């Protein structure tokens, strides 16, 4: 039976939304593995809009769901429509949108909160015992989604790792092409562009993450 995987996006663009390479590689690998992917995003204003040519914050206002539709080619739904019972697994790519739109980690650090609709959707997968994959900065949300002592990685950045540990998770250093798995909680994480210096480096770990998530869904059959 074809596996169904939900993918939560956070906009479009590394500095203010989903990291496009990470999102596209995730969707590509899911398709290569024969899984059906459905994208979701919160229907909220972006934290801010960044000009990706200059790196400067612009005066524009944009919507996270609308911007995520750029990556999903229009096939994206409001995260409030995400029901864990309809899917086998959940994957959350990174990009600063995970820390600005899916949460306020970029501003609040260890005192951050996960966006309400995203938190409810993700926790439903945890409660159902279904696997979740998170990459790049997205594992900063893990403690609030899974609770204390969940093991995850963002690579090796000491400040981010310290904040993750302060929130109650356990950070484990990881090379760019590897994954960290919390077997008890069915969480798989990889550094992606927290460490990657090229799209090929990012793809190595993301492929491993997606492959492992698919394997875990098969174990549940």
Q: What pLDDT sits at residue 123?
A: 98
Q: What pLDDT sits at residue 16?
A: 97
Q: Domains of the chain (ranges plus CATH)?
A: 4-219 (3.40.50.880)
The pLDDT profile of the chain, 221 residues, written as one tens digit per residue, is 899 999 999 999 999 999 999 999 999 999 999 999 999 999 999 999 999 999 999 989 999 999 999 999 999 999 999 999 999 999 999 999 999 999 999 999 999 999 999 999 999 999 999 999 999 999 999 999 999 999 999 999 999 999 999 999 999 999 999 999 999 999 999 999 999 999 999 999 999 999 999 999 987 66
Catalytic residue among 12, 39, 112, 136: 136
What is the pTM (predicted TM-score) of this model? 0.97
112 annotated active-site: no
SS (H, E, C) the chain: CCCEEEEECCCCCCCCCCCHHHHHHHHHHHHHCCCEEEEEECCCECCCCECCCCCCECCCCCEHHHHHHHHCCCCEEEHHHCCHHHCCEEEECCCCHHHHCCECHHHHHHHCCECHHHHHHHHHHHHCCCCEEEECCHHHHHHHHHCCCCEECCCCCHHHHHHHHHCCCEECCCCCCCCEEECCCCEEEECHHHCCCCHHHHHHHHHHHHHHHHHHHHHCC
């Amino acid at each position: 039976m074809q596996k169904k995987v939900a993918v939560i996006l956070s906009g479009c663009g590394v500095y203010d939304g989903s990291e496009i390479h990470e999102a596209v590689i995730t969707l590509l690998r899911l398709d290569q593995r024969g899984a059906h992917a459905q994208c979701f995003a919160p229907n909220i204003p972006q934290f801010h809009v960044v000009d990706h040519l200059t790196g400067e914050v612009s005066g524009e206002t944009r919507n996270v769901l609308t911007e995520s539709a750029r990556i999903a080619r229009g096939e994206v739904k409001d995260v409030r429509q995400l029901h864990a019972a309809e899917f086998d697994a959940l994957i959350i790519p990174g990009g600063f949108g995970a820390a600005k739109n899916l949460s306020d980690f970029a501003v609040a650090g260890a005192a951050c909160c996960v966006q309400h609709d995203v938190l409810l959707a993700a926790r439903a997968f945890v409660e159902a015992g279904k696997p979740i994959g998170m990459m790049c900065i997205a594992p900063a949300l893990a403690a609030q989604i899974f609770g204390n002592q969940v093991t995850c990685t963002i690579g090796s950045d000491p400040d981010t790792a310290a904040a993750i540990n302060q929130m109650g998770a356990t950070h484990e250093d990881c090379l760019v092409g590897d994954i960290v798995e919390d077997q008890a909680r069915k969480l798989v994480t990889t550094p992606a562009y927290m460490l990657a210096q090229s799209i090929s480096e990012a793809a190595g770990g993301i492929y491993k993450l997606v492959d492992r998530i698919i394997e875990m869904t098969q174990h549940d059959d």
